[in-house]
Amino acid sequence: MSSSDAAFEAEYSSARSTLSAQLAAVLALGVLLLAVLGVLQGYLARSFRRILNPGVLAATVCTLIAVILGSQMLSASADHLRVARHDAFDSVVALSRAIAYDANADESRYLLDPRRRDRYEESFLAKSQQLYGLKGATLSTYDDELAATWQAYRAGHRDLRFTGEFRRELDNITFPGERTAAERTVDTYAVYQRDDRRIRELPAADKEREAVAFCMDWAPGTSNAHFGAWMATLDQVVGIDRGQFTFSVEAGRSAVNGLLPWAGGLPCAAMVLAASGLRPRPAEFRQRSASRASSRSRERWTRRRVVSLMAWAS
């Protein structure tokens, strides 16, 4: 799971960087296009003595909407990606079953291999600390410290005396129903931990058979039954996060599919509108130029005529 999490984090970081670069490019290009259209509108107003060119104005509106929609699409995609990665997937990683099953296996090995009991006891404690970390705790003190710190946390959610994967999940509560399910998971975990102490106490009292039965049976009230209850509550939390992960992925795709055609089509429409708005202007410019040339020609003819009349009169 850790290797998959690292690979996912690398992909996530790359995708976030790409989205940020695309958003910056859309904003920069949009501002540039709007500035060009604004300058063009001003030039046409001065040259042809008109307040606004309808085609260029429509192109400006299309460009502005395209920038807004493109920015909204990229921002929504980045937000859904963050929710999927950190709010949902981080919790799935924190609540991986692997550590729990390894700890349960160490508990069984403790009974089946008496010569290595110290090793399996240390391994079980190490995995317990990974899940619900209590600094300096031993198996003999773990239960009391777990109960005290968990009670303090439930009172205000601010107690910082425990760490581990459960803490990682509890600090990442995001979705409806997630906190209740996560807290129930810790409650069932505490029951399983208390069962472990009984499993270790029974062999010390020469009750190996009772210890094996309590550890490996699935009857109600046994350690495996409580382990199953713990896994069931854990699955409830993971189910909530997986559901939200799927929802965020689908929402991100929906945002892209819904806005991309508009964000891509509007710039094309802007080009067509700008071209249609500018199309009559060259003919109008030539007509104005011809009119000015004709006017200058008449003025020259009139001056020559006046000069001729004055010469004849003199």
Q: Which amino acid is at 64?
A: L
Q: Is position 26 within any domain?
A: yes
Residues 163 and 103 in one domain: yes
Residues 80 and 19 in one domain: yes
Distance CA 4, CA 286 (A): 69
Instruction: Give the pLDDT score at 241.
Output: 84
Distance CA 130, CA 99 (A): 8
Q: Is position 104 within any domain?
A: yes
Residues 116 and 140 in one domain: yes
Answer positive or negative: Cα dihedral of 49, 55, 60, 61.
positive
> What is the pTM for the complete model shown?
0.69
Q: Is position 77 within any domain?
A: yes
Distance CA 145, CA 151 (A): 10
Instruction: Give the pLDDT score at 183.
Output: 94
Residues 164 and 281 in one domain: no
Instruction: Give the pLDDT score at 260.
Output: 79
End-to-end CA distance of the chain: 112
Instruction: Give the pLDDT score at 184.
Output: 95
Low-confidence residues of the chain, pLDDT below 70?
Answer: 1-8, 48-50, 85-94, 280-314
For 208, the token pair is 């190996």
Distance CA 294, CA 302 (A): 12
H-state helical runs in 132-177: 139-156, 165-170
Q: How many domains does the chain have?
A: 2
Distance CA 147, CA 282 (A): 85
Distance CA 240, CA 244 (A): 6
Residues 165 and 280 in one domain: no
Let me know if 51 is exposed, middle or buried by CB neighbors in 10 A (0-12, 13-18, 19+): exposed
Q: Which of the listed residues 216, 240, 264 is the one where a domain comes to its end?
A: 240
- Which helix (DSSP H) or strand (DSSP E) does residue 175 occupy? none
With CA atoms as reference, report the closest residue to 258 among 114, 2, 77: 77
For 106, the token pair is 């160490």
Q: Is position 163 within any domain?
A: yes
Instruction: Give the pLDDT score at 75.
Output: 86
Q: Is position 248 within any domain?
A: no
- By residue range, what is the domain housing residue 130? 96-240
Instruction: Work out the number of other CB atoms within 10 angstroms of the CB of residue 296.
Output: 10
Q: Are 135 and 170 in contact (CB under 8 A)?
A: no
Q: Are 49 and 284 in contact (CB under 8 A)?
A: no
Distance CA 216, CA 209 (A): 11
Instruction: Give the pLDDT score at 285.
Output: 47
Residues 105 and 235 in one domain: yes
Q: Which residue has the tokens 């008109």?
A: 50
Q: Which residue has the tokens 């039954």?
A: 225
For 190, the token pair is 């505490």
